[in-house]
Structure 1
């Protein structure tokens, strides 16, 4: 009889130990999940900050409706503002070419240079009146069919 009670007591201890260990494991998993959730939230925050239109980019600069910004940078160097913006779009090269040739034609760029073909667009020039310089380079991505990537640089002179 004593042996049976010892065995039953051992089984109860083992069951309790299993429950306690299971609860500890669950708490560790919860902490790990919370940590992962925090990392994801921080990454989303970083992406949201990165996806903003640069502060000093002229407000008249048009972006396609589906623009996905991958790089957005603005700074002041020696008292002059500058911007770099990199984004992608699924718009056709024809649509992008029209959008940006129309826009830059309204900017009265002096000494401008336009190089445009079916796969690429390069527009560079200065607006002496507004003391600003523009450069846009872009083209179809070979790694992602139907995607155009554009890099825009704007700066005060």
Structure 2
């Protein structure tokens, strides 16, 4: 699988077919370097999504996971989220697991830190039913830097500043 097939076969159907008024656009690479892959707009809101595909989990827990975020992608997300108050997420497919991560996730991350930063996790087969719901909950709560843990919001921004 590639990022393009992840978008076409899983992310796009999940973000455009479940509720009326939701929109998602794949942004072409000919725009500006670093612009995230997807502009996602549930009614009245907007968020950037950077899609990443990592074929396999590292064999050893001690081996970090490399997401492949470029400096330009990180800069665009930082400008949009930190400077302008927008929402942004990194949506990663690793093997058959999909993770929704905050925009400020490091490009190379240890697995124990990845667990801490994960905002939502689902199996690839469940993306169509769960991805839009999870993203909308984060966006409409106006908490692109928050995580639901047992029904309680945890502000990750305060913990990682």
TM-score, normalised relative to structure 1: 0.26
* Structure possessing the higher radius of gyration over alpha carbons: 1
Which structure is richer in relative contact order (CA contacts within 8 A, separation 6 or more)? 2
TM-score, normalised relative to structure 2: 0.25
Higher helix share: 1
Higher strand share: 1
